Copies of this chain bind each other. A is one copy, B any other.
Amino acid sequence: MTTNDADRISARLLGKQDPPLEELLALDSEDEAGTDGSPPERLFARQATALLNRLGQFGADPEGGTSRLLYSPAWQNAQAALEEWMNGCGLRPYYDDAGNLFGRLEGTDPLDRGVILTGSHIDTVRRGGLYDGAYGVVGALIAVSYLQRKYGPPRRTLEVVSFAEEEGSRFPLTFWGSGNVTGLYDTRKTPDIVDAEGVTLADAMNGAGFGLKRYRPSRRSDVRAFIELHIEQGAVLERERKTIGIVQGIVGQKRFTFHVKGEANHAGTTPMSYRKDALSAACEMALYVREAALQAGDPLVATVGKLEASPGVANVVPGAASFTVDIRHAEAEALMLFCRSMRERFEQIAARYGVTVDGEEWMSAAPVPMSAKLTALLGKLCISRGLPYRSMYSGAGHDAQIVSAICPAAMVFVPSYNGISHSPHEFTSENDLAAGIVVLADLLYMLAYEGEAAI
């Protein structure tokens, strides 16, 4: 294929005259696949871009970005499109009762009924980007489709999954998709929660046709491994010029809201030495959080994301202030010690300002290590492909941390342009998208075709 041909095809992929799916997924001519057996990176790049752009149409916001909230029409249409694409790739699509969509490629080994699962989530934040979650679904589809066309049916069954929900952007709960697979949640015991319009989770689910026992139960016990491809959502890979991040584990998190109470006073008539200024105390606490985190060093991060003074007017010394603290670390012990020191220091600061401080911990998630065997395999694969990689922790939550409760799990990161995520400006280059799919395909090949004994 000449450069002109490539340009022409790219233009078609991105333009209104998209090629039919069969054509898109059949583009791996011998020339492109390469004669040396190496995966067709350029093909993967174009397929990923085309499929991500197509998927991004479902829920595209007129003001930019994509909003695909759990069980919404946009979400339903996206799942339906994926179902069609799975079919087109020769996978057998099926839903479970939570609305998770799977595409199954049956294994040939009659003695091994386990499943190698790969994918990510289909939902987005409000006005999110094209890549978060979607890349892991599309990448899995491209990788499995490639393996099937190149090598035929696997020994172990391969499944691509598009989890119903991970972001928590419609209802105040996260991991509804993978959580139903692992037994963390259960569609028959739906939490009594509502979205911003007052619609219950149960009504939304039923309205989309799920939670009605029309589909198979979500809970799975046949999954032998889960591999999730995802954008980094941070800038570490980009800054260090690495193409692949191999996730050692997903950090634990704790989130708090602290309330400082002092005394509201007239800003003009209250001498500085009389004040019990809740905001100043809160500011010193916020600065402590940052300083202590800098001193602790990676992988600890701590963030004061919200801070408010009350009454919050220019000419009143604030009588109250509140702020959030979000703390993450790969080790539970280190996380706990940081929080303990922080609370002690807050008390000292409060005493100095003549104010009180109270805090509630409203979120606590333990660190989740990824499978050491799978991450070791990923490292070897990167070396053999000559791909620059690094081991790292994920500071964000992912479906893999949930699924790891029922099987060995691994995650592969690719760089995020400028570290931007949860934004219409999310971007990952075609080359990096392709590299992630190459690594995923390699690992899936080892696990499903070679019957790698590591799991």
Residues of B with C-beta under 8 A to A313:
305-306, 324
CB distance from A308 to the nearest CB of B (A): 7
| A319 CB → nearest B CB, Å | 10
Chain B: CB-nearest residue to A397: B268
Chain B residue contacts of A284, Cβ below 8 A:
283, 287
Whether B395 pairs with A274 at a CB distance below 8 angstroms is no
Contact present for A272 and B286 (CB under 8 Å): no
Contact across chains for A269 and B303 when beta carbons are under 8 A apart: no
* Contact of A155 with B by CB under 8 A: no
Closest to A234 in B: B269
Question: Is the CB of A380 closer than 8 A to any CB of chain B?
Answer: no
Complex Cα spacing A393 to B268, Å: 10
Of the candidates B268, B287, B309, the one whose C-beta lies within 8 Å of that of A301 is: B268
Q: Let me know if B268 and A394 touch, CB within 8 A.
A: yes
Tell me the nearest residue of chain B to A413, going by C-beta.
Answer: B269
Q: Which of A32-40, A175-183, A290-298 contacts B (4 or more CB under 8 A)?
A: A290-298
On chain B, the residues within 8 Å of A253 by CB distance are 268
Which of B232, B272, B305, B317 is within 8 Å of A316, CB to CB?
B305
Asked if A235 CB lies within 8 Å of chain B CBs, one says yes
Residue pair B274, A235 in contact (C-beta under 8 Å): yes
Does chain B have a CB within 8 A of A419? Answer: yes
Residues on B with beta carbons closer than 8 Å to the beta carbon of A234: 265-266, 268-271
A334: interface (CB < 8 Å)? no
**Are B395's CB and A266's CB within 8 A?**
yes
A255 to chain B: which residues have CB within 8 Å?
314-315
Of B269, B293, B314, B324, the residue contacting A419 (CB under 8 A) is B269
Q: Which of A313-329 contact B (CB under 8 A)?
A: 313-318, 324-326, 328
Interchain CB contact under 8 A, A314 and B305: yes
A303 to B253, CA, bound (A): 34
Does A251 sit within 8 A of B, measured CB to CB?
yes
User: A253 to B314, alpha carbons, bound, how many Å?
Assistant: 12
Contacts of A294 in B (CB 8 A): 272-273
Is the Cβ of A269 less than 8 Å from the Cβ of B312? no
Assuming the A-B contacts A266-B422, A272-B293, are A303 and B286 also in contact, with contact meaning beta carbons closer than 8 angstroms in the complex? no
Contact of A270 among B235, B251, B282, B283 (CB under 8 A): B235
Contact A269 B305, CB 8 Å, known A235-B274, A239-B274, A326-B315: no
Residues of B within 8 A of A279 (CB): 286, 304-305, 307
A446 located at the interface, meaning its Cβ lies under 8 Å from any Cβ of chain B in the complex: no
| Interface assignment of A212: CB less than 8 Å from any CB of chain B | no
Residues of A that sit less than 8 Å from B by CB? 232-236, 239, 251, 253, 255, 257, 265-274, 277, 279-280, 282-284, 286-287, 290, 293-294, 297-309, 311-318, 324-326, 328, 394-397, 419, 421-422
Given A257-B314, A268-B394, A283-B304, 14 other A-B contacts at CB below 8 A? A233-B266, A234-B266, A234-B271, A266-B396, A268-B397, A269-B421, A270-B419, A272-B300, A272-B302, A282-B283, A305-B315, A305-B317, A314-B326, A315-B326
* A–B complex contacts, Cβ < 8 Å, 26 sampled: A232-B269, A234-B271, A235-B269, A255-B315, A267-B301, A267-B326, A267-B328, A267-B395, A268-B394, A269-B395, A269-B396, A269-B421, A272-B297, A279-B286, A280-B287, A280-B304, A282-B283, A284-B287, A287-B287, A303-B317, A304-B309, A305-B315, A305-B316, A307-B309, A308-B312, A314-B325
